Structure 1
Amino acid sequence: MTSLRVAAAQISTGPDPVANLAIAVESVRRTAEAGASVIALPEATLAAFGSDLRAVAEPLDGPFASGLRKVAADLGVVVIAGLFEPASDGRVHNTLLVTGPGVEASYRKIHLYDAFGSRESDLVAPGDELVTFEVDGVRVGLATCYDLRFADQFTALGRAGAELIVVPASWGAGPAKEDQWDLLTRARASDAQAWLLACDQAWTAPRGTDPLGIGRSALIDPLGHPRGRLGAEADLLVGTVETELAVAVRARVPIL
């Protein structure tokens, strides 16, 4: 059995990447002190939705990513965070950066939030590749926010061997949105028969149709049972992933 200490740093970001990096770095330090070796930050950690995404977008060797890379290297942890990088068509990519000792990966959000009156695709170009990577013998898959509504992505990550799926999000408030978040995080863990660590932005008052956050970050086990869940405010969630459970569930219920 392999155990991995993981954490969701539920923060609230604004339009300033410099200020957001300072918040992110402090949150990474606090979760590392709590013993986590894999630390998730939300989608849009670089800058909140509603910001000028084209203006703030940076390449993966830009100052924001480099700042996260440095704190991850200094503390010996793996950090996963949402940022925006320039796309070739004038839009941006909604990208997850993964960085830490021996680990460097990125995932571009595939399913864009063209729903509930929002049009993410007006500013964001979609990705088209699933991404997994390995940390301390654990295969980890990636998804972002609205991807939660697409079960096939999580089944595919499970078939690719992911025993943990990390889902940074900026899940906007709205009628029944909290219930949908709770339902979908549990369902997608069950679809993948994997642990699922979902890290949302802390609750932020809605601004028009831009998705911001409701909090409720969670660690879900491969049977779809919550092992930990935060409230609405900024907070840290730390828990343990045990791969033996994913192996056992897949053996008993071989849906993959």
Structure 2
Amino acid sequence: MKVALGQFAVSSDVDVNIATCRTLIRQAQARGADLLVLPEGVLARDIADPDMVLKAAQPLDGPFIEALLPETCNGPVVMLCIHVPVPDHAKVSNVLVVLRDGAVVAQYRKLHLYDAFSVQESRHVEPGDSVPPLLEIAGFKVGLMTCYDLRFPELARRLALDGADVLVAPSAWLRGPLKEDHWDLVTRARALDNTVYLVAADECGPRNIGKSIVVDPLGVPVVQAAEGPALLFAELTAERLAQARASLPVLQNRRFVRPELSGRT
């Protein structure tokens, strides 16, 4: 499977972000990508306005997603995150949306909200309440995660035990002391812990670190961006996956039961 990661700084202008996403989809298609992963929260971003997630939120049949659907009719599967209004509620959901063949084919509401390092995502966002099903893309089974989910090994392990070969994580990883080290550590660890490929596309710009990355099933970075806008490509192979799992059979050697979602969410 050929994957592409589109790293960019999200604008406060929705139309600008639509244009950026369209361009990245077309570039990924031109290079023969099977999957394009974009960052978290790509509708709109304004550092000076923490309420932007509420103001910019759109339903899945809103103009943002509708503008991108035609681009996927003959292009790659596209994964990105947007904020979606919760009916009859003052909050929104942080939803990973999967676009394929001109339609929304899957969605995952972020389970773990970023209430850490003096940030409180839960002030505006409702957490999800279910583990997402796997998708099949180019012969690989793909599990869905979002940003802060990477810090919780239970979800990655659950998806791997469900059969995932690849974990995908659109992200908006905030800058801060040691945060780049944390990013490098958790992306590599989640891949190595579960002998899966990890594909994490991160936002760049003044707020986030960038450093989008693909990690192979033995924890080796395949490709990684720097801090600026980028479109990366990587080849994921069944041979590398099989080699990793034969030499490091952690999923077979484990002694703990399959993680289940807590009722706390």
Alignment-mate amino acid for residue 166 of structure 1: V
Q: Distance in 1 between matches of 2:51 and 2:199?
A: 26
Q: In structure 2, which of residues 199, 202, 214 is the aligned counterpart of residue 200 of structure 1?
A: 202
Give how far 1:48 is off: 2.1
Deviations 1:83-121 (A, max 9, x none): 010124321011111011287111111000000100000
Kept in 2, the 8 Å contact 1:156–1:192? The answer is no
* Conserved 8 A contact 1:103-1:135: no
Structure 2 residue matching 1:23: 3-state secondary structure = helix
How far apart in 1 are the matches of 2:67 and 2:242?
Answer: 36
Aligned equivalent of 2:60: 60
- CA deviations 1:98-157 (Å, max 9, x no partner) are 011287111111000000100000100001222221112211111111111001110111
State how 1:27-38 maps to structure 2 within 5 Å: 27-38=24-35
Question: Does residue 93 of structure 1 match 2:115?
Answer: no
Identify the residue that residue 83 of structure 1 maps to in structure 2: 82
Partner SS state of residue 224, structure 1: coil
Unaligned runs of 5+ in 1: 206-211
SS at match of 2:115: coil
Matched residue type, 2:195: Q
1:133-144 aligned at under 5 Å gives the runs 133-144=135-146
Within 2, Cα distance between the matches of 1:5 and 1:216?
Answer: 19
Q: CA deviation at 1:252?
A: 3.2
- Map 1:167-246 to 2 at 5 A: 167-202=169-204, 204-205=205-206, 212-246=207-241
Give the TM-score, by structure 2 length.
0.88
Identity of aligned residues (%): 40
Cα deviation for residue 51 of structure 1 reads 5.0
**2-structure distance, mates of 1:86, 1:247:** 41
CA contact (8 A) 2:79 2:99 kept: yes
Q: 1:169 aligns to what SS in structure 2?
A: coil
Match of 2:120 in 1: 119
**CA offsets per residue over residues 145-178 of structure 1, 9 Å max, x none?**
1111001110111111111111110000011111
User: Is 1:255 aligned to 2:254, yes or no?
Assistant: no
For 1:78, give the aligned amino acid.
V
5+ unaligned residues in a row in structure 2: which ranges?
252-265
> Pairwise CA RMSD of aligned residues?
1.5
